[in-house]
Amino acid sequence: MTNAFITILSETSSGAGDQAAGKQAADKQAAGKQAADKPLADKLVALSDNISTLGIETTAASEILKGYKPVFDATVVQKLKAAGYSLTGKLNMDEFGMGYAGQTSAFGPVLNPWDLSRLAGDGSAAAVAAGEVPLALSSDTGGNLREAASFCGVTAIKPSYGAVSRHGLIAHASSMDQIGVAANSIEDCAALLAIISGPDHMDSTCVMQKPFDFSRALAEGAEGKGPEELKIGLPRNYFDGSIPLDDDVKKAVLAAAKVFEELGARVEEFDMPLTDYFIPCFLAISCAEASSNLSRFDGLKFGYRNPDAKDLFDLYRLSRSVFGLEVKRKIMLGSFVLSSENYDSHYRKAMQARSMIKDAFKRLFDNFDFILSPVVPTTAPRPGEYDNEPIKKLMTGIFNVPVNLAGLPAAALPSGFDRDKLPIGFQLIGRAFSEPELVKAARAYQGRTEHHTKRPPLDSGAADGGKS
């Protein structure tokens, strides 16, 4: 149906094909609805296919890793198993997390359960929205997870950089990659994040001394700031036309801000600084890191080895030719940025811009508890919609990439639908390691709204494009 799964698992073995995922949609839709009301009602979880699983094929949605079966579990997988969770499958995604809206996978695009003629962004959100699984883990490097959550009308948390171990995550851009969670409600997201967060001696960038404790944040009458004490920043220049934004998305995000005002929060407009630097900075750094990380897939160390190669140059050329077009673009641009002639003028400048962006957020959080912004400028696109508009495609990440550049947490929350009945989301961005406060604010919002309880009409609407 949605092509959300690459591999379907039973308790002891892997299955094959999206036909099984389609059957699971009907079988597990009730469990997904229960999970919206009762945190972790069903201990089933799916993982994006760039999270290593012992003895289970892990491809990162790329031809170059077809048949690769890791000899270890990622740390997050070890923690899930220790907590009694069952893995239902490996989820489809953009190849190595590179691309837009889930259409660069070697296994075909991920389709949106609200309208199968549209893209979902990522298998994690598609599977949760379709009721195929109640909980999912996925990586978020430049907003992949949050974008998918917005497109599919589910809830997601991208945690602070260093809150969750990246050991066993196949790297895209190491300084921005972070494993996040998707579910139907903020309670389920928080409960799952509490399990996978915390220290890991296998990952030196994982700086959490202990897992998150959300019990107080989720309790009635919890300690700390209530909604009526919050000061939320609303970036004026996100909505004034200087950044392209669909009218329906604008209305839904501003409506979410209105809900917080009704809850007693003070919502104040401000001008987000450095917006012209967000995309160039992210592009230069992510491509440079991707080029370095993917150099290991050369036919010798890891990945596919072409049997027809006549010499070493041939081996590299033919083996790496199976990369998709988007991955090749990133490798080429990253190699250009890191070259001796361009390192200072491109990569070093991007790192300086990144420091400026981090400092700007620090100053903003001296005045605000959270920043409320759109997730993406549009609702779910059709496959190939932006193929001939590369600038427009890049601009879809403008609200997301600064969060990854600064290493901040963000919660993506459903906030309504557009005129075509496609979901719209917004995000709350917090200071580093403020996840408990972020969850508390998100819970207050979802306690006042019902957007997160809506499900796609799988029996009819999704099958005919969501129009019935």
pLDDT band at residue 455 under the 50/70/90 scheme: very high
pLDDT: is 32 or 190 the higher one? 190
Q: Give the pLDDT confidence score for residue 148 in this predicted structure.
A: 97
- Candidate from 114-128, 132-146, 210-224, 384-398 with smallest mean pLDDT: 210-224
pLDDT band at residue 459 under the 50/70/90 scheme: low
pLDDT band at residue 384 under the 50/70/90 scheme: confident
Q: Give the pLDDT confidence score for residue 173 in this predicted structure.
A: 96
Query: pTM value?
Result: 0.90
Each residue's pLDDT tens digit, 134-152: 999 999 999 999 999 999 9
Helices 186-196 and 435-448 cross at an angle (nearest 10°) of 160
Q: Could you tell me the sign of the dihedral formed by the alpha carbons of 360, 365, 252, 129, in that order?
A: positive
Residue 414 has pLDDT above 80, yes or no: yes
Q: Could you tell me the sign of the dihedral formed by the alpha carbons of 399, 401, 404, 406, in that order?
A: negative
User: DSSP for 301-347?
Assistant: SSS---TT--SHHHHHHHHHTTS-HHHHHHHHHHHHHHSTTTIIIII
From residue 446, how far is each of 205, 222, 454 by CA, in Å? 32, 16, 12
Q: Give the pLDDT confidence score for residue 31 in this predicted structure.
A: 37
Give how far the C-alpha of residue 205 lies from the chain's centroid of Cα atoms, to the nearest Å: 19
Give how far the C-alpha of residue 362 lies from the chain's centroid of Cα atoms, to the nearest Å: 23
Tokens standing for residue 393: 């495609």
Residue 223 has pLDDT above 70, yes or no: no
Question: Measured between alpha carbons, how far is 142 from 262 in angstroms, rounded to an integer?
Answer: 31
pLDDT band at residue 39 under the 50/70/90 scheme: low
The SS3 of residue 7 is strand
Q: Give the pLDDT confidence score for residue 29 in this predicted structure.
A: 40
Q: Please state the φ and ψ torsions of residue 454, each to the nearest 5 degrees.
A: -75, 140
Give how far the C-alpha of residue 57 lies from the chain's centroid of Cα atoms, to the nearest Å: 21
Torsion of CA 450, 453, 456, 460, to 10 degrees: -90
Residue 91 has pLDDT above 50, yes or no: yes
Mean pLDDT of 97-114: 93
pLDDT: is 466 or 203 the higher one? 203
Residue for token digits 């010499």?
A: 311
User: DSSP for 228-263?
Assistant: GG-EEEEEGGGTSSSS---HHHHHHHHHHHHHHHHT
pLDDT band at residue 390 under the 50/70/90 scheme: confident
Tokens standing for residue 11: 């308790």
| Cβ-contact 375, 149 below 8 angstroms | yes
Q: What percent of the chain has pLDDT over 90?
A: 77
| Cβ-contact 134, 85 below 8 angstroms | no
pLDDT band at residue 405 under the 50/70/90 scheme: very high
- Using alpha carbons only, how large is the chain's radius of gyration in Å? 21
Each residue's pLDDT tens digit, 268-316: 999 999 999 999 999 999 999 999 999 999 888 888 888 888 888 888 8
Question: Measured between alpha carbons, how far is 384 from 242 in angstroms, rounded to an integer?
Answer: 25
Domains of the chain: 5-453 (3.90.1300.10)
| Cβ-contact 80, 196 below 8 angstroms | yes
Question: Measured between alpha carbons, how far is 213 from 290 in angstroms, rounded to an integer?
Answer: 33
| Cβ-contact 411, 256 below 8 angstroms | no
pLDDT: is 125 or 459 the higher one? 125
Q: How many of the other CB atoms lie within 10 Å of CB of 240?
A: 11
Residue for token digits 């996840």?
A: 435
Q: Give the pLDDT confidence score for residue 159 in this predicted structure.
A: 98
Residue 41 has pLDDT above 90, yes or no: no
Distance between start and end Cα atoms, the chain? 17
Query: How many residues are given for the chain?
Result: 468
Tokens standing for residue 84: 């009694």
The residue among 81, 80, 86, 52 whose CA lies nearest residue 68 is 52
Average pLDDT of every residue of the chain: 89
Q: Give the pLDDT confidence score for residue 465 in this predicted structure.
A: 39
Residue 340 has pLDDT above 60, yes or no: yes
Residue 20 has pLDDT above 60, yes or no: no
Q: Give the pLDDT confidence score for residue 14 in this predicted structure.
A: 36
Q: Give the pLDDT confidence score for residue 318 in this predicted structure.
A: 87
